[in-house]
């Protein structure tokens, strides 16, 4: 018989280091058991974060190969490398891969790995949900690629406009793979978003109050909240597409009174917030990491944090700028023209904050900081081309041309990938304990920077020369040969630069210079733990008293001192502190769940349901549902040892 009294405990507060007996005890409690069960069952946020990173990079490489083949087809007029069927599936899969399977998950990977470390916690708030989210993501990616491999991949672009996506015009399984695969992917993002929000609001170090959040928390928190509001719209849209296709409903079917434009509204109500969701966390990574290389705190951090949130809020009010040519009334569209211009303001705050940080600080030149600095430059190019297309009359000319293709690539590669590249050079030492090679890094940077601008800037020119997007070939005599050839060459140079990164990672993973806990002399809590961090992250839970815990002695801006090496001992089981939302006053010792394969099994069963829906097989759906229910029961079966009503006194 267990009573509440058994849990009543005031944690001891002592100094401790990573070689102490306490650390050994924690290691035994927190480490993932070796073997297959351990591999499928781990809930360690660092392991899951790395899996997100590796998986999303695998998809990035696939999407890159697809692009490389397309660039051959488009390198000159009337090429026959690809048939139209192949080209359409390639460009659709390229978009789906990059925008969904790479861009968000790679940021989830960084956040998963780093959040508990920068928040001063031992794991994400909901570790099993975390594993569940990853498995769903992996399975949704495999589901979509299964269609692609059997020749039934999405073939209507990532935007998937109806009625071309409807059954009369698209009778194969292509769109069913996309509709169902996307809903599955949306589930993973929803689950992940919930986990990030609960983590940010609940499991932090004492004193990590909301005004002391590192920027990376703001970025991913904002993106997660945005996703929770945006994804239902597109999941519904895809579900209605699937019922139109398979059950004979008429949501989008014009001859029966359906409305094709309904799809575009639902899709872009999701799509535009999504674009911000896949850049805001990346911008926030730069906001945290760039100041380290300027040897000063970020200029106007509060304003930049507010700008992050405001961007997402306004981001929900600009979707119609994807639809300026659809014949909507000019007056209604004008509001979206204005909103699309207003959203430049928060972005400008961030850009000028970064520039001011560079110009008033002392810049440290290295591969990571080069990626971050060039990120600002590419951000501005992607930004101003967006500003141009926000003007309705100009958009009537440039929309659906390569100008927009150039814009989206400056946004997604410039703002997402370049930030991610810098993030890899910055945090790789933390993840592996080894530095990436700096000489290879410079090759990596310059090849990618030169290749990217050489390849993707001419896309704007192609667009201004009137080249429509999504065409599998173009005729001679329209003036698009040279720009396309340059784009192809640049894209290949860019790809070579990327290969240098892969080589650098493989070489440095084991043989790079030993990093130590804080190779960059950075300010965040993640740099106070060993590299790579032990499974339990912090031997004692630190207490935070400023935005820059490891710099506060030198900045001398706060009265109190953060306590890094002395704090609450939590070693009765897997435990971490729960804190109040605003001020981070500890109020509970949270018992964290142990490893379990049930998240994996449940994700597998849910994927089974979607395979059943794809094949219209009631047997598969029913079996998967029953097995999934059993897995959920095993996962959630109440256990006395997880009771957690203990008041903690710091």
Q: What is the footprint of another protein within residues 285-344 (CB under 8 A)?
A: 293, 295-297, 299-300, 303, 325-327, 330, 334, 337-338, 341-342, 344
Least Å from the CB of residue 553 to another protein: 8
Least Å from the CB of residue 264 to another protein: 9
492 binds another protein (CB under 8 A): no
Q: Are 245 and 70 in contact (CB under 8 A)?
A: no
Residues 25-44 that bind another protein (CB under 8 A): none
Residues 467-486 that bind another protein (CB under 8 A): 467-475, 477-479
Residues 505-534 that bind another protein (CB under 8 A): 513, 516-521, 523, 527
Query: CA 20, CA 138: separation in Å to the nearest integer?
Result: 38
Least Å from the CB of residue 481 to another protein: 10
* Residue with smaller CB distance to another protein, 228 or 313: 313
For another protein, the binding residue among 557, 566, 583, 647 (CB under 8 A) is 557
Other residues' Cβ atoms within 10 Å of the Cβ of residue 391? 16
* Residue with smaller CB distance to another protein, 326 or 644: 326
* Alpha-carbon torsion (266, 151, 606, 60), positive or negative: negative
Least Å from the CB of residue 163 to another protein: 5
Region binding another protein by CB under 8 A among candidate stretches 8-16, 131-139, 392-400, 639-647: 392-400
For another protein, the binding residue among 10, 54, 149, 384 (CB under 8 A) is 384
Query: CA 171, CA 488: separation in Å to the nearest integer?
Result: 33
201 binds another protein (CB under 8 A): no
Other residues' Cβ atoms within 10 Å of the Cβ of residue 211? 12
Q: Which of 184, 175, 171 is nearest to 137 (CA)?
A: 184
Q: How many residues bind another protein (CB under 8 A)?
A: 112
Least Å from the CB of residue 49 to another protein: 23
Least Å from the CB of residue 580 to another protein: 29
Least Å from the CB of residue 158 to another protein: 11
Region binding another protein by CB under 8 A among candidate stretches 17-25, 206-214, 497-505, 551-559: 551-559
Query: CA 563, CA 566: separation in Å to the nearest integer?
Result: 6
Least Å from the CB of residue 154 to another protein: 12
Least Å from the CB of residue 599 to another protein: 37
* Residue with smaller CB distance to another protein, 239 or 387: 387
For another protein, the binding residue among 140, 357, 444, 596 (CB under 8 A) is 357
Q: Are 346 and 310 in contact (CB under 8 A)?
A: yes
| C-alpha atoms less than 13 angstroms from C-alpha of 243 in its C-beta half-sphere | 10
Q: What is the 3-state secondary structure (H, E, C) of 514-561?
A: ECCCCCCCCCCHHHHCCCCCCCCCCCCEEECCCCCCCCHHHHCCCCCC
For another protein, the binding residue among 142, 464, 503, 632 (CB under 8 A) is 464
Residues 398-437 that bind another protein (CB under 8 A): 398-401, 435
Least Å from the CB of residue 251 to another protein: 12
Other residues' Cβ atoms within 10 Å of the Cβ of residue 143? 20
Task: Give the per-residue contact string, 227-266, with another protein (x = CB under 8 A; - = no).
Answer: ---------------------------xx--xxxx-----
Query: CA 439, CA 449: separation in Å to the nearest integer?
Result: 15
Q: Which of 238, 239, 200 is nearest to 219 (CA)?
A: 200
Query: CA 340, CA 275: separation in Å to the nearest integer?
Result: 13
For another protein, the binding residue among 50, 68, 313, 356 (CB under 8 A) is 356
Residues 81-100 that bind another protein (CB under 8 A): 83-85, 88
Query: CA 182, CA 97: separation in Å to the nearest integer?
Result: 11
Least Å from the CB of residue 113 to another protein: 20
Q: Are 308 and 218 in contact (CB under 8 A)?
A: yes
Any residues with CB less than 8 A from the CB of 164 and at least 6 apart, and which? 156, 170
Residues 138-167 that bind another protein (CB under 8 A): 156-157, 161, 163-164
For another protein, the binding residue among 267, 270, 498, 551 (CB under 8 A) is 551
Least Å from the CB of residue 452 to another protein: 10
Looking up tokens 């001859």 gives: 255
3-state secondary structure of 470: coil
Task: Provide the b/e sequence for 587-598 (b: ≥16 CB within 10 Å).
Answer: bbbbbbbbbbbb
* Residue with smaller CB distance to another protein, 83 or 581: 83
DSSP letter for 210, please.
G
């Amino acid at each position: 018989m267990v009573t509440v009294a058994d849990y009543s405990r005031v944690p001891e507060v002592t100094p401790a280091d990573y070689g102490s007996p306490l650390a050994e005890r924690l290691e035994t409690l927190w480490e993932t058991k070796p073997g297959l069960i351990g591999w499928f069952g781990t809930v360690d946020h660092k392991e899951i974060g790395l899996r997100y990173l590796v998986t999303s990079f695998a998809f990035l490489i696939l999407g890159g190969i697809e692009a490389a083949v397309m660039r051959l087809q488009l390198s000159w007029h009337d090429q026959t490398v690809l048939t139209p069927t192949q080209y359409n599936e390639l460009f659709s899969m390229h978009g789906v891969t990059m925008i969904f399977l790479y861009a968000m998950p790679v940021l989830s990977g960084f956040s998963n790995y780093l959040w508990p470390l920068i928040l001063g916690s031992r794991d994400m708030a909901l570790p099993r949900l975390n594993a569940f989210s990853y498995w769903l993501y992996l399975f949704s990616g495999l589901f979509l690629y299964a269609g692609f491999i059997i020749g039934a991949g999405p073939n209507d672009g990532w935007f998937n406009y109806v009625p071309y996506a409807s059954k009369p015009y698209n009778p194969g399984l292509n769109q069913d793979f996309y509709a169902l695969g996307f809903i599955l992917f949306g589930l993973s993002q929803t689950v992940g978003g919930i986990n990030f929000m609960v983590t940010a609001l609940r499991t932090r170090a004492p004193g990590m109050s909301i005004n002391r959040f590192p920027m990376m928390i703001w970025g991913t928190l904002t993106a997660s909240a945005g996703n929770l509001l945006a994804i239902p719209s597109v999941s519904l849209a895809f579900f209605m597409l699937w019922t139109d296709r398979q059950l004979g409903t008429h949501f989008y079917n014009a001859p029966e009174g359906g409305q094709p434009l309904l799809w575009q509204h639902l899709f872009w109500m999701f799509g535009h917030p999504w674009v911000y969701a896949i850049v805001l966390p990346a911008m926030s990574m730069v906001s945290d990491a760039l100041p380290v290389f300027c040897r000063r705190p970020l200029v106007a951090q509060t304003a930049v944090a507010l700008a992050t949130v405001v961007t997402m809020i306004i981001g929900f009010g600009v979707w119609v700028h994807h639809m300026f040519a659809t014949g909507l009334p000019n007056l209604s569209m004008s509001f979206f023209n204005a909103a699309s211009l207003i959203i430049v303001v928060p972005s400008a705050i961030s850009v000028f904050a970064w520039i001011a940080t560079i110009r008033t600080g002392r810049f440290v030149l290295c591969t990571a900081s080069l990626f971050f600095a060039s990120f600002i430059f590419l951000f501005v190019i992607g930004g101003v081309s967006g500003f141009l297309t926000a003007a309705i009359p100009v958009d009537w000319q440039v929309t659906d041309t390569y100008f927009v293709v150039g814009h989206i690539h400056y946004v997604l590669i410039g703002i997402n990938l370049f930030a991610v590249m810098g993030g890899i050079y910055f945090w790789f030492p933390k993840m592996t304990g080894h530095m990436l090679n700096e000489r290879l890094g410079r090759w990596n940077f310059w090849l990618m920077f030169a290749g990217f601008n050489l390849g993707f800037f001419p896309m704007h020119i192609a667009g201004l020369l009137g080249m429509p997007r999504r065409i599998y070939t173009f005729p001679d005599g329209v003036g698009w040969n040279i720009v396309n050839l340059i784009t192809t060459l640049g894209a290949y140079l860019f790809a070579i630069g990327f290969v240098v990164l892969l080589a650098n990672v493989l070489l440095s993973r084991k043989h790079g210079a030993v990093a130590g806990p804080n190779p960059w002399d950075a300010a965040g809590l993640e740099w106070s733990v060993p590299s790579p961090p032990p499974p339990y992250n912090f031997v004692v839970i630190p207490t935070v008293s400023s935005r820059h815990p490891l710099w506060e002695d030198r900045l001398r801006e706060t009265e109190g001192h953060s306590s890094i090496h002395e704090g609450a001992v939590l070693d009765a089981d897997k435990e971490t502190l729960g804190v109040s939302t605003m001020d981070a006053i500890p109020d509970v010792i949270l018992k964290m769940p142990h490893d379990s394969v049930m998240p994996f099994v449940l994700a597998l069963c849910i994927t089974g349901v979607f395979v059943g829906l794809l094949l219209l097989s009631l047997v598969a759906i029913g079996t998967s549902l029953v097995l999934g229910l059993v897995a959920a029961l095993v996962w959630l079966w109440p256990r006395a040892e997880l009771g957690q009503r203990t008041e903690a006194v710091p």
